[in-house]
Structure 1
Amino acid sequence: MARITAGVGTSHVPLLGVAADSGKTGDDYFQPIFQGYEWTKDWEKEQCSDVIILVYNDHASAFDMNIIPTFAIGCGEFFKPADEGWGPRKVPDVEGHPDLAWHIAQSLILEEFDMTIINEMDVDHGLTVPLTMMYGAPQKWPVKVVPLAVNVVIYPVPAGNRCWALGEAIGRAVTSFPEDLNVQIWGTGGMSHQLQGPRAGLINQEWDNMFLDGLIGDSDALRHIPHIEYLRETGSEGIEMVMWLIMRGALGPKTRCLHRHYHVPCSNTAIGHIVLEPGDS
């Protein structure tokens, strides 16, 4: 059967894609950010994962105010990099895994999660930047990807508890898939940041590290954090961290931390990154 062997959490700041694409990763500003991913890049080479379930949010590339799915799963064969206003990133197309994606979609819908099924969509920096941070600049991405887009842009957005429960359901779906697959699940976005208004540039290092702490071990306290706390403590865009809870829920009741990285600043945000594996239940 398929199995989820690890979970990865990471920021998906678009500036990191710009730095990687323009050869600036060794610059004084970017070097400490990218250095924190070197452990993971080496580790990923050893994992030989078959599929990544990549949880991210679209930034008005595939969806706009006409259609705003709360949870959307990509079931197509390929997903092209989106044009976000300055041309698509020159990175490989993302290869999907339709068989696993459709299996997950069916399993989730039968568990009463109302998933939107997408067969064609372009994927923006929310998905391609994490791939760059973990795999560098290959001619072809070394894994297949099941995109799972979450609305954290337009309110109402899903509760942390609902996201954690979705992760639990994804875990059950993966283990019921009959093919022998090594699957990882990634939660992306965050950490604390606000892009507009009087609090633009807000970064809350103490809260961010509390959140990273809470992903490790057997506590499920993070799933009960209300939206107002994310807004108050981490800024208007910090709500993206609920997507990390989908990753955490999929790993089961307990986790172990393999690697952790936190850096301030990157653009006007904090960079967070963690690698987890399922612990003993």
Structure 2
Amino acid sequence: MARLTAGIAASHIPAIGAAVDNGKTAEPYWAPVFAGFDWTKAWLKAEKPDVVILVYNDHASAFSLEMIPTFAIGCADSFQPADEGWGPRPVPVVEGHADLAWHIAQSCILDEFDLTIVNKMDVDHGLTVPLTLMFGQPAAWPCKVIPLAVNVVQYPPPTGNRCWRLGEAIARAVESYPEDLNVQIWGTGGMSHQLQGPRAGLINKTFDNEFLDDLTADPERLRTMQHIEYLREAGSEGIELVMWLIMRGALGADIRELHRFYRVPASNTAVGHMVLEKTS
């Protein structure tokens, strides 16, 4: 059977991708940001996941206000890097795992989660920046990737509890897949930030670090956190953190924190990162 072994949480700030693509990672501003992922890069080389289920949000690259799925799973064999207005990022094509993706779709839909099945979509920085942070600049990504896009752009986004329960359903799906695979699930986005209006540039270090603490210490608090609290404390884009709860819900009760990193600034937000291992 497939095994869901670990989860990773990470911000997917577009400026991070630009810093890598333009050779700026060693500059004083950026070097401490990338140093926070050195541990994880080494750990992933040892862990060698076969498949990553990567939870992210699309930034008007594959979807628009004309069509807004709450949860959408990519079931294609491959996904091209999106052109976000300045050309596609110079990163490898994302190779999918169509068989497992279709299995997850079937299992979750029969488990009463209505996933939108997507057979063709380009993937933007929300997905490619985390891959770059974890794997650097390889000629090809070292594992298959199943994109799971979540609407956190147009109100109403899903609740934290709904995201958590989807994570649980994904775990059941993975564990019923007959092939022996080492599967990880990554939750991306956040942390606190706001891109527009009078509070543009908002960063709430206290909120961010309490969120990181409670991913392990008090996940029930995060499950029941209301949209208005994300908006008030973490800014209009802080709602992206509900995507971390899909990852956390998939891992179950028995987990161990292996690595944590938090830094301000990185562009106009903070970088948050955590690695969790499933222990049973």
Residue identity in the other structure for 2:181: L
> Where does structure 1 differ by over 4 angstroms across 4 or more consecutive aligned residues?
none
Q: State how many pairs are aligned.
A: 280
- The offset of 1:48, in angstroms, is 1.0
> What's the TM-score once normalised by structure 1's chain length?
0.98
- The offset of 1:118, in angstroms, is 0.3
2:41 corresponding residue in structure 1: 41
User: What does 1:174-185 correspond to in 2, within 5 Å?
Assistant: 174-185=174-185
Instruction: Determine if the alignment matches structure 1 residue 239 to structure 2 residue 239.
Output: yes
Residue identity in the other structure for 2:167: G
- The offset of 1:279, in angstroms, is 3.5
2:9 corresponding residue in structure 1: 9
Aligned alpha-carbon RMSD (Å) = 0.8
2:213 corresponding residue in structure 1: 213
Q: Check conservation: 1:74, 1:118, Cα contact below 8 A.
A: yes
Tell me the secondary structure at the aligned position of residue 276 of structure 2. strand
Q: Distance in 1 between matches of 2:207 and 2:149?
A: 25
Q: Check conservation: 1:217, 1:254, Cα contact below 8 A.
A: no
Q: What are the Cα deviations for residues 191-240 of structure 1, in whole angstroms up to 9, with x where unaligned?
A: 00000000000000010000001111564221110000000000000000
Instruction: Determine if the alignment matches structure 1 residue 156 to structure 2 residue 156.
Output: yes
Tell me the secondary structure at the aligned position of residue 64 of structure 1. coil
2:275 corresponding residue in structure 1: 275
Instruction: Determine if the alignment matches structure 1 residue 53 to structure 2 residue 59.
Output: no
Q: What are the Cα deviations for residues 72-113 of structure 1, in whole angstroms up to 9, with x where unaligned?
A: 000000000000000000100000000000000000000111
User: What does 1:117-136 correspond to in 2, within 5 Å?
Assistant: 117-136=117-136
1:93 corresponding residue in structure 2: 93
Q: What are the Cα deviations for residues 15-52 of structure 1, in whole angstroms up to 9, with x where unaligned?
A: 00000011111100000000000000010000111000
Structure 1 vs Structure 2: percent identity of aligned residues? 70
Instruction: Determine if the alignment matches structure 1 residue 254 to structure 2 residue 240.
Output: no
Q: Check conservation: 1:218, 1:253, Cα contact below 8 A.
A: no
User: What does 1:184-199 correspond to in 2, within 5 Å?
Assistant: 184-199=184-199
Q: Distance in 2 between matches of 1:150 and 1:107?
A: 18
Tell me the secondary structure at the aligned position of residue 264 of structure 1. strand
> What's the TM-score once normalised by structure 2's chain length?
0.99
Q: Distance in 1 between matches of 2:171 and 2:214?
A: 19
Q: Check conservation: 1:7, 1:276, Cα contact below 8 A.
A: yes
Q: What are the Cα deviations for residues 99-131 of structure 1, in whole angstroms up to 9, with x where unaligned?
A: 000000000000111110001000000000000
Greater Cα shift, 4-13 or 249-258: 249-258
1:263 corresponding residue in structure 2: 263
Tell me the secondary structure at the aligned position of residue 260 of structure 1. strand
Q: Distance in 1 between matches of 2:219 and 2:279?
A: 12
Return closer, same or farther for 1:218/1:2 CA change in 2, 3 Å cut-off. farther
Q: Check conservation: 1:218, 1:255, Cα contact below 8 A.
A: no
Q: Distance in 2 between matches of 1:250 and 1:96?
A: 20
Q: Distance in 2 between matches of 1:144 and 1:208?
A: 30
Return closer, same or farther for 1:174/1:217 CA change in 2, 3 Å cut-off. farther
Residue identity in the other structure for 1:279: T
- Could you tell me which runs of 5 or more consecutive residues in structure 1 were left unpaired when the two chains were aligned: none
